[in-house]
Amino acid sequence: MVNITLLPWVILFSPLLAAFFIALFFLRSPKIAGILSTASVLISFAASAALFGFYLKNPSLLPVETAYAWISIPGLSIPFGFLIDRLSLLMLLIVTGVGSCIFLYSIGYMRGDQSFPRYFASLSLFAFSMLGIVLAHNFLMLFVFWELVAVSSYLLIGFWFEKPSAADAGNKAFIINRVGDFGFVIGIFMVWMLSGLGGAERTFLFSELATRIPDLAHQNLVTPAILTVAAFLVFCGVVGKSAQFPLYIWLPDAMEGPTPVSALIHAATMVAAGVYLLARTFFLIHDLPNVLETIAVIGVITAGMAALLAVVQNDIKKILAYSTISQLGYMVMAVGLGSSTIGMYHLTTHAFFKALLFLGAGAMIHSLHTQNIWEMGSLLKRMPVTAATFLIGTLALCGIYPFSGFFSKDEILALAYEENRVIYFAALLTAGLTAFYMTRAVWIAILGPDRKTHGHDHHAVHDAEPIMKWPLIVLAFFSVTAGFMGIPAFIMGGHGEHPHFNMAVAITSTGVALAGIALGTLLYARVKNRQDPLERFFGKAYDVLVKKYYLDEAFLALANFFQKLIAQILFIFDSKVIIDRGANGAAQLTAGLGSFIRYAQTGKLQTTALVFSFGLVALVAFMFLRGF
Amino acid sequence: MISLHHYLTVSALLFALGLAGLLVRRNMLMILLSIELILNAANLSFVAFSSYWGDLSGQAVVFFTMLVAAAEVTVGLSIAVLLYRKKDTTDTRELETLKW
Amino acid sequence: MPFGLTSWILLTPALGGCLLLFVPKNRPDTLKAIAVLSVTVSLFLAALTFFNYDKVAGGYQFVDRVEWVKSLGIFYHVGLDGISSVLVLMTAILAFAGVMVSCSVTRDLKEYLIFYLFLIVGCFGVLVSLNIFFMYFFYETAVVPVFPLIGVWGSGNKEYATMKLTLYLTLGALLALIALLGLYFVTGLQTFELPLIEAAVTAQPLPIEFQMWAFPLIMVGFGVILTLWPFHTWSPMGYAAAPTSVSMLHAGVLKKLGAFAIIKLGIGLMPQGAAYWMPYVAWIAVINIVYCGLIAFSQKDLKFILGYSSCSHMGFILLGLACLTPTALNGAVFFMFSHGLMAALGFALVGFIYDQTHTRLLEDWGGFGKKVPLVGTLFVMTALASAGVPGFGNFIGEIMILLGAWDRHRVPAILAVTGLIITAGYMLKTVRGAFQGPLKTKGNMLKDATGAGRLPYLLLIAILLLVGLLPSLLLPSISAGTKPILERLASSGI
């Protein structure tokens, strides 16, 4: 019998130990690094599964909280501890499960890269950070790992740092996340402060906050406006990390990293952290209708905007990136509509099929050496397994019965149908767009003819090696079956409201998805050349989409305003006013005064002595007159 | 009986002599001599007060002063010698490079 | 033996320095060996005192006291409290790393090491002195050797920089001296003994009028070395001109001496004066953080970037001091420790590459990460530590300062959080420019650190990580040290 309290430690620290040992000892031994790192995640997965199994048998024990002193001084105590409940158990399984697939796949994908060990060290660090977020039982610990996720994403996105675009993308991801975290930190401080209003000692613990914060409103200790501000500030962190409008701009650029990294960032970890945070801190928002509504609106805006952008992309990873943003919009919207369960449900199914899609895209990129969908084609013949699993992922993403995406997306739509019709229609439209852009990608990249002009490497194109193929198959299996596993029921714990099912909505959404697929087929099934028909139809509007609504330019201008203009102005002020006028001015004043007084120095010894004696006499006389 | 006043008067005279010498003599050696006078004037008052108050620390200071005076003369004379070598004179009117 | 551990921490570098006088110039290995040995011994002793300091009992421990000028209340009196045991440990670590780095000096190594060791003595002296006279004396001892060290061994506009640096720090010290002399007379004890004065202040606070004028003098006087805006301009310029190991010690330790003096002499002795003036300081702290941080963006020379960055970080210390709350004050001391290591590491790494490329302009650097993976990795870690990433000590300090500031100075605290974005911005920009992207020609001949040359860097980063992951290594000592100060604050109703 394994000690249950030990398992969270194993889950959390086994990737960290791997990263640590690789960084210290195995930077020149790729084989050991790969095995060590993958083994560590598999260990985490096994431990998570054991933990899951244990609590599945003993659900009455949940939630379990363990805490150890980390920072403890008079007036401030920040414990280090684990919160095991249904939410974190589910998330642990997703992170380590999907993570294991990606780690295994990486061994094949990254083989031969000269920084292979560094890759695995960073990847392990990433897994560690994400698991930390999942297990954290207090706000500050969550923030610590939250930042570590940003750091490890910085390291991984900029993994090929000699490539300027990759290095820039890493910086962008980190800085944009920091902008979100600005609000998040202040939000944490506010929540911390609010927790003490009832007279109790302030706390960061989620379990304490979950009871205290709603109480505050009931006891009229605090106005709803303050709670609203705190909730919005915490939500800022989500906007940054989960790539919501307007901070989503880092995510497409993050495609500069190796493809398995994109899979990890976009499926199971980093971006999921934001939604997980929303679910974890649902107690903050669920009594505040206006906050919920804003969150839902931001979610649906993100979903729609990103889906539109995905339509015009020609880079397969960029298509998937915008698709991720769009689906994250869905999840956030679900939370905003009042159900964190459904948000988490979509997160789970999405983790499977999006990881599958990314890894499939990675396999294509790996053997075709291009990311441009127009240079791919006829892959069903050339890479059957990859193509087939990619199609499964696509169908899941489009929300076609019986693939997993159908169930979770349908629940979101059903929820929206009940809560807010405007959002419902926008979400429905987005679902159609999703089906459309994925169909476009599939027709051009997989089903269509090979459009590569100099196709001399035809023979080299084949399915990837087993270590890359099997993760695809495993993920494909879950993408198909995840809808039947009763995930929402598990999160709800068998009680609470029954998941919504609305036949009308289900039929409508399937219809819309099929319409999107039909439209995509109509437009792209026959395209033989490399000309996108949409470009002809829409002209100007198409340009705006290609330019990504000029949002990047706006942010760049804002950043340059501070880091170039303001910085330069301040520097000129510093050097011209403070140094020249202030410091050197004082020095010149002193020097001027000195050059005036120096004429008193005649250099004659006896003049000096005489003046000195007069001074002495004057002093003595003065003392006499004062009467000592 | 020689009272404190006598000692102090002599001390004051010595001091005045020394000061006058310091101010009017142009020869460096004479100036150094005058400084010795001034120091001894101070020593004299120290000793006088010491015996008057019956406190030995005054005499301790005198020893201290003598020590300093010896050091001072050593340095002073060597400077005088060096200056003489360099300038061929010990007349202080010629030595005015310490200006501006 | 009349001298205990504390005195030996102070004496070993001094003895080493004196011993070096008798070693012929043409035997660099002996010179290096003696210098390294002396700081190793003091590092060992500092670690010994740190671990043996009784945190439960608190107060001054390892005390040595020798009568000197009894009538004026001047004694040779050294000892450690919680704050100084932590800072002495930091100083000893940096002294060790600094001397190791100094060994790469080629011109007049002997004189360099002698000055450097006496600089170290001065730093130790300020921290361990329990007599204000000696504290001041050692402070000046620390300031003076920097003048020749930069003026002779520096680079660039070194004469101007060293003159400016020395004048600023000396003038600041004079301001503080006025207040300290005032203190001597106001207490009516006719003593410079810090424990006696502290006891007197605990029993009976100093007159309010005195606190009102003396506290700003201490704050500004010692604030100059803490780069209190607008007296910060000596710092980037001085660091840019200074040789590597001097920048390390100066940014790492000397700046913290100012903060230490403000804590012990300003806040500790004049709580009411502090309470009156600190709200203004909080705003200046924000100016430090934001203004110097933004200027760091516009800099082209890597040492100027680090210099302004260091000024910006001092804003956090100032903010921590300004709060007068336990969390913030402890956080400020913690931040002093970790910033010392981090700043020193940054300067050491830039100096390492500068020695090979002979240029520090960001535009001449680029893609060095491939050439010097170890130094590059360490610089990235330094940059992340500087940006307040968890795992490094700086994060703990910053978060404690901000939490402590939340109740006292809320708006400045919120503005200070922007400092985290700004720092991340310019540090990552620097990393991007210097170590990432395609390799530039200046880096063709770069060689990575090897052998014992890696030791100082690895030592610094390891300790930075260690305290970041296990802050409880330092916090009990720190809170034992701040406890009497906070009690005095509390009894004054602050």
Is C451 in the A-facing interface, judged by CB distances under 8 Å?
Answer: no
- Cα–Cα distances in angstroms (integers) from residue A149 to residues A45, A134, A231, A567, in the given order: 19, 12, 22, 29
A616: closest chain B residue by CA: B19
Q: ipTM, 2 decimals?
A: 0.90
Q: What is the pLDDT of residue C2?
A: 66
B94: closest chain A residue by CA: A604
**Which residue ranges form the domains of chain B, and what is each CATH number?**
4-93 (1.10.287.3510)
Q: Do A74 and C479 touch (CB under 8 A)?
A: yes
Q: What is the pLDDT of residue A457?
A: 54
> Is residue A252 within 8 Å of A318, Cβ to Cβ?
yes
Q: Do A70 and C420 touch (CB under 8 A)?
A: no
B92: closest chain A residue by CA: A605
Which residues of chain A neighbour B80 with C-beta distances below 8 Å? Answer: none
Tens-place pLDDT, residues A431-476: 888 988 888 888 888 787 776 655 555 556 777 777 888 888 888 8
Q: What is the pLDDT of residue B17?
A: 93
What average pLDDT does range A488-504 have in this prediction?
Answer: 67
Is B99 in the A-facing interface, judged by CB distances under 8 Å?
Answer: yes
Q: What is the pLDDT of residue B67?
A: 93
Residue C142 belongs to a domain: yes
The dihedral over CA atoms of A565, A568, A572, A574, expressed in degrees to the nearest 10, equals 110
Is C319 in the A-facing interface, judged by CB distances under 8 Å?
Answer: no
Chains C and B touching, counted as 3 or more CB pairs less than 8 Å apart: no
What average pLDDT does range A121-148 have in this prediction?
Answer: 91
In whole angstroms, give the CA distance from residue A432 to residue B60: 105
Is B27 in the A-facing interface, judged by CB distances under 8 Å?
Answer: no
Angle at which helix C302-323 crosses helix C271-287, to 10 degrees, equals 150
Q: Is the pLDDT of residue C217 over 50?
A: yes
Q: Do B23 and A601 touch (CB under 8 A)?
A: no
Give the 3-state secondary structure of residue C405.
helix
Q: What is the pLDDT of residue A581?
A: 76
Place of tokens 């063709």: C444
Give the total number of structural domains in chain C: 1
Angle at which helix C475-491 crosses helix C194-203, to 10 degrees, equals 50
Residues sharing a CB contact under 8 Å with residue C461, sequence separation 6 or more, in sequence order = C345, C378, C381, C382
Least confident of A365-374, A416-425, C7-16, C483-492: A365-374
Q: Between residues 566 and 625 of chain A, which touch chain B (CB distance below 8 Å)? A: 598-599, 601-606, 609-610, 613
Residue C115 belongs to a domain: yes
In whole angstroms, give the CA distance from residue A345 to residue A600: 90
Residue C491 belongs to a domain: no
Q: What is the pLDDT of residue A416?
A: 86
Q: Do A162 and C291 touch (CB under 8 A)?
A: no
Is A218 in the B-facing interface, judged by CB distances under 8 Å?
Answer: no
- In terms of residue numbers, what domain contains C384? 5-481
Which residues of chain B neighbour A603 with C-beta distances below 8 Å? Answer: 95-100
Residue scoring higher pLDDT (C442 or C15): C15
User: Can you name the residues that pair with C77 across neighbouring β-strands?
Assistant: C65
> Is residue A534 within 8 Å of A446, Cβ to Cβ?
no
Q: Is the pLDDT of residue C55 over 70?
A: yes
Q: Do A72 and C472 touch (CB under 8 A)?
A: yes
Which residues of chain A neighbour C389 with C-beta distances below 8 Å? Answer: 147-148, 150-151
> Is residue A121 within 8 Å of A82, Cβ to Cβ?
no
In C187-233, which ranges are continuous DSSP H helix?
A: 194-203, 208-223
Q: What is the pLDDT of residue C1?
A: 46
Tens-place pLDDT, residues C291-340: 888 888 888 888 899 999 999 999 999 999 998 888 999 999 999 999 99
Look over chain A and give the mean of its residue pLDDT values, rounded to a whole number. 84
> Closest approach of chain A CAs to the CA of C92, in angstroms?
25
Q: Do B98 and A601 touch (CB under 8 A)?
A: yes
> Is residue A149 within 8 Å of A130, Cβ to Cβ?
yes
Q: Between residues 39 and 98 of chain B, which touch chain A (CB distance below 8 Å)? A: 92-93, 95-98
CA atoms within 13 A of residue A345's CA, in its CB half-sphere: 31
In this complex, the residue of A598, A603, A610 whose CB is nearest that of residue B96 is: A603
Tens-place pLDDT, residues C376-409: 889 999 999 999 888 898 999 999 999 989 888 8
Q: Do A148 and C438 touch (CB under 8 A)?
A: no
Tens-place pLDDT, residues A90-102: 889 889 988 898 8
Place of tokens 């913030």: C328
Cis peptide before A63 (omega within 30 of 0): yes
Q: What is the pLDDT of residue C192?
A: 87
* Residue from C211, C262, C413 nearest C327 by CA: C413
- Alpha-carbon Rg of chain B, whole angstroms? 17
E strand or H helix at C74: strand C74-80
Residue scoring higher pLDDT (A118 or C189): A118
Q: Do C233 and A583 touch (CB under 8 A)?
A: yes
Q: Do B19 and A613 touch (CB under 8 A)?
A: yes
Q: Do A603 and B97 touch (CB under 8 A)?
A: yes
DSSP state for residue A178 in the 8-state scheme: H
Chains with 3+ CB–CB pairs under 8 A to A are B, C
Residue C181 belongs to a domain: yes
Q: Is the pLDDT of residue A142 over 50?
A: yes
In this complex, the residue of B92, B98, B99 whose CB is nearest that of residue A606 is: B92
In whole angstroms, give the CA distance from residue A134 to residue A92: 7
Chains with 3+ CB–CB pairs under 8 A to B are A
Is C228 in the A-facing interface, judged by CB distances under 8 Å?
Answer: no
E strand or H helix at C64: strand C61-69
Q: Do B100 and A601 touch (CB under 8 A)?
A: yes
Q: Do A563 and C429 touch (CB under 8 A)?
A: yes
Q: What is the pLDDT of residue A52?
A: 87
> Is residue C82 within 8 Å of C54, Cβ to Cβ?
no
Is C261 in the A-facing interface, judged by CB distances under 8 Å?
Answer: no
Residues sharing a CB contact under 8 Å with residue C218, sequence separation 6 or more, in sequence order = C176, C179, C180, C261, C262, C265, C266, C270
In A282-383, which ranges are continuous DSSP H helix?
A: 282-285, 289-311, 316-336, 340-368, 379-382
Q: Do C479 and A73 touch (CB under 8 A)?
A: yes
Q: What is the pLDDT of residue C105?
A: 83
Q: What is the pLDDT of residue A496?
A: 52
Instruction: Count other C-beta atoms under 10 Å from residue C357's C-beta.
Output: 18
Residue C487 belongs to a domain: no
Angle at which helix A86-109 crosses helix A340-368, to 10 degrees, equals 0
* Residue from B67, B36, B48 nearest B10 by CA: B48
The dihedral over CA atoms of C372, C377, C383, C388, expressed in degrees to the nearest 10, equals -170
Structure tokens at C119: 């600089």
Q: What is the DSSP string of C322-377?
A: HH-SHHHHHHHHHHHHHHHHHHHHHHHHHHHHHHHHS--BGGG--SHHHH-HHHHH
In whole angstroms, give the CA distance from residue A176 to residue A150: 10
Q: Do C421 and A564 touch (CB under 8 A)?
A: no
Cβ-Cβ pairs closer than 8 A, A with C, add up to 137
In whole angstroms, give the CA distance from residue B39 to residue B22: 12
Angle ∠(A294,A296,A299) on CA atoms, nearest 5: 110
> Closest approach of chain A CAs to the CA of C488, in angstroms?
15
Cβ-Cβ pairs closer than 8 A, A with B, add up to 33
DSSP state for residue A458 in the 8-state scheme: G
In whole angstroms, give the CA distance from residue C234 to residue C212: 28
> Closest approach of chain A CAs to the CA of C138, in angstroms?
26
Place of tokens 């330092």: C474
Tens-place pLDDT, residues A565-588: 777 887 887 777 777 777 777 778
Tens-place pLDDT, residues A12-24: 899 999 988 888 8
HEC per residue, C264-314: HHHHCCCHHHHHHHHHHHHHHHHHHHHHHHHHHHCCCEHHHHHHHHHHHHH
